[in-house]
Amino acid sequence: MQIFGVDIGGSGIKGAPVDLDKGDLAQERCKVLTPQPATPDAVADGVKEVVGHFGWTGPVGVTFPGVVTDGTTIRSAANVDKSWIGTDARVLLGDRLGGLPVTVVNDADAAGVAEMHFGAAKGRRGTVVLLTFGTGIGSAVFVDGVLVPNTELGHLELHGHEAEKRASSKAREDHDLTWEHWAHRVQKYLAHVEMLFSPELFVIGGGVSRKPEKFLHHIQGIKAEIVPAQLQNNAGIVGAAMRAATGI
């Protein structure tokens, strides 16, 4: 069974048909740059371009980098235009896609669902925290496999700063940090999250999951096991498709 997944990020919009039996992309993904400013209409045009690239005519799952309530209403927009707040994303995107059925989910929640079912956290019980490091820091928290939605732990305060402003991938690039220096910032962030949630497992997602050898060995003193996301930066696409297909 194939369902289309789209992952809206602060820097890129990417999508592809997903093979839900394998938990992997059925075709090579298409990616376009996130428009600046990332207004609802402009982002919807980007989503339409990605979906149209494949001539897709079925259900579409879409991730959003912020709080999504009831699978439709946007409640926060840290890394896209603030005009998203209050937008009915399901209606907006469905209309832009010519009436295709659309399901909307928080981006990190989607990635977490994919990793719990097909990836690094498959079969894991207890408390699992997935953290995606990209333009910001997304989070997905699971207790015995059940998602606690819209946690948004990237906005925790850490040493007087919003955590994602110090420890996201964008922060590493903007401040030209070495991988080791950046890993020490991530370590402090993980210690803070661990203090709050005491997870058995941290899954590190986002683009950095392709390069765990660059930074993971620099992270010390965390009691929880730390592993890179197996689906890497495709986890959000896979999770969005899963949500569209099953409502998981």
CB 179 within 8 A of CB 215: yes
* DSSP codes, 86-97: T-BHHHHHHHHT
Predicted pLDDT at 246: 82
CB 195 within 8 A of CB 189: no
Name the residue among 119, 26, 143, 36 with its Cα closest to residue 81: 36
Predicted pLDDT at 247: 63
Q: What would the pLDDT profile of 64-108 be if each residue is shown by its tens digit?
A: 999 999 999 999 998 999 999 999 999 999 999 999 999 999 999
Radius of gyration over alpha carbons of the chain, in Å? 17
Q: What does each C-alpha distance from 1 to 10, 63, 150 come to in angstroms?
A: 29, 20, 28
Distance CA 146, CA 245 (A): 18
Residue 191 class from Cβ within 10 Å (0-12 exposed, 13-18 middle, 19+ buried)?
middle
Predicted pLDDT at 23: 96
What is the average pLDDT score of the chain?
Answer: 96
Positions of the chain with pLDDT lower than 70, given as ranges = 247-248
Predicted pLDDT at 14: 98
